[in-house]
């Protein structure tokens, strides 16, 4: 299978000289490090005190969402200094290559997403030949679409990523496409118009692969490459063809496998969850009850 060209990103980091380091003085409370996402990473930081972050550079696109706290912030970028009051919902959108320094007063809680430049450029057919896409810098941005997508990604991490990395990567792709269309220097007239569904042969190839491997952690880029198209094109046509997003289809497969296993009295509830691709029994029970309406144990007793 072809290489997607998207490099792994494990953590929220900035560059100070030749050293990569976390810009915040507190440890993250939630991280995507174990989620298996490719090209993007998310961390949340709680109760960050007032801080002065010295000169640094962003090697990735950096999206910082303030979720708690109202503060006075001062930053210097491109040789100019600015001051603003930041409150919950404030977003810093800092493209890769941005150099700045920043101070703020008072404690805050933040959700931060970093995105490898190739994740953006390889998301669409008409930008796939580019090494990167130029985004515009914003330090006091309000955008409910960015906010809702980041909080959905954060919720997926809190929930234990029940469909593996597929859902988080899909949300990251949706956010990336929104950034391209709303906050990049490229013309919006190049947007790809999608009609119809996925060609039958390609769809069957993808469905066969999912049906054989849904208990493993499937990747958005992997499925898109299997279909021979960009992740954006794949997501649009997969849903047009099946009525479900890829992660919904995978989760449906896992639930159906779990039901079959629960009807087998020789398998424990924990074994049924593992066979369906769930990481542990607690996680399995939580997701199964949300999707089916009863716990796995209750389903087994009713099925018997």
**pLDDT at residue 18 greater than cutoff 90:** no
Give me the pLDDT at residue 119, please.
85
Strand partners, 57: 15, 99
Give me the pLDDT at residue 78, please.
81
pLDDT in tens, 132-184: 578 999 999 999 999 999 999 999 999 888 888 999 999 999 999 899 889 98
Give me the pLDDT at residue 190, please.
44
**pLDDT at residue 187 greater than cutoff 80:** no
Q: Which has more pLDDT, 279 or 8?
A: 279
Tell me how crowded residue 221 is: count the other CB atoms within 10 A of its CB: 24
Strand partners, 48: 108
pLDDT mean across residues, the chain? 88
Question: What mean pLDDT is predicted for residues 54-61?
Answer: 94
Question: What mean pLDDT is predicted for residues 10-33?
Answer: 92
Angstrom CA distances, 41 to 1, 150, 176, stand at: 24, 11, 13
**pLDDT at residue 2 greater than cutoff 50:** no
Angstrom CA distances, 129 to 5, 121, 122, 157, stand at: 11, 7, 8, 31
Q: Quick one: CA dihedral 88, 86, 182, 113, positive or negative?
A: negative
| Residue whose tokens read 């099925």 | 303
Query: Under a CB-based contact definition with an 8 Å cutoff, are residues 138 and 184 in contact?
Result: no
pLDDT in tens, 206-232: 999 999 999 998 989 899 989 988 888
Gap between the Cα atoms of 129 and 124, Å rounded:
10
At residue 188 the predicted structure's pLDDT band, cuts being 50, 70 and 90, is very low
Find all residues with CB under 8 Å of 282, minimum gap 6, and list them.
none
At residue 7 the predicted structure's pLDDT band, cuts being 50, 70 and 90, is low
Question: What mean pLDDT is predicted for residues 33-56?
Answer: 93
Query: Under a CB-based contact definition with an 8 Å cutoff, are residues 231 and 168 in contact?
Result: no
Question: What mean pLDDT is predicted for residues 281-290?
Answer: 91
Give me the pLDDT at residue 124, please.
66
State how beta strands 108-115 and 40-48 pair: antiparallel
Give me the pLDDT at residue 126, please.
46
At residue 189 the predicted structure's pLDDT band, cuts being 50, 70 and 90, is very low
**pLDDT at residue 20 greater than cutoff 80:** yes
Exposed e or buried b for every residue in 112-140, given b needs 16+ CB within 10 A? bbbbbbbbbbbbbeebeeeebbebebbbe
Give me the pLDDT at residue 195, please.
54
Closest CA to 143 of 257, 253, 63: 63
């Amino acid at each position: 299978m072809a290489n997607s060209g998207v490099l792994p990103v494990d953590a929220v980091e900035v560059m100070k000289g030749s050293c990569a380091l976390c810009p915040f003085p507190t440890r993250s409370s939630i991280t995507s490090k174990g989620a298996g996402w490719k090209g993007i990473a998310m961390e949340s930081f709680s109760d960050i005190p007032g801080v002065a972050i010295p000169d640094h550079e962003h090697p990735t696109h950096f999206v910082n969402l303030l979720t708690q706290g109202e503060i006075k912030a001062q930053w210097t970028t491109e040789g100019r200094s600015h001051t603003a009051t930041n409150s919950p919902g404030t977003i810093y959108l800092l493209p890769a290559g941005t150099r700045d320094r920043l101070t703020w007063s008072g404690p805050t809680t933040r959700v931060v997403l970093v995105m490898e430049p190739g994740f953006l450029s390889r998301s669409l057919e008409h930008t796939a030949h580019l090494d990167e896409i130029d985004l515009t810098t914003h330090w006091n941005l309000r955008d409910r679409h960015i906010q809702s997508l980041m909080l959905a990604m954060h919720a997926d991490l809190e929930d234990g990523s029940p469909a593996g990395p597929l859902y988080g990567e899909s949300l990251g792709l949706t956010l990336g496409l929104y950034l391209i269309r709303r906050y990049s220097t490229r013309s919006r007239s190049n947007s790809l118009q999608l009609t119809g569904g996925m060609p039958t042969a390609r769809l069957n190839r993808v469905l066969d692969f999912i049906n054989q491997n849904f208990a493993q952690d499937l990747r958005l880029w992997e499925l898109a490459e299997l279909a021979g198209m960009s992740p954006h094109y794949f997501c649009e046509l997969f849903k047009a063809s099946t009525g479900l997003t890829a992660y919904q289809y995978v989760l449906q497969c896992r639930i159906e496998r779990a039901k079959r296993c629960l009807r087998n009295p020789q398998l424990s509830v924990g074994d049924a969850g593992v066979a369906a691709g769930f990481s542990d029994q607690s996680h399995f029970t939580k997701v199964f009850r949300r999707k089916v309406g009863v716990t796995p144990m209750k389903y087994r007793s009713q099925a018997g």
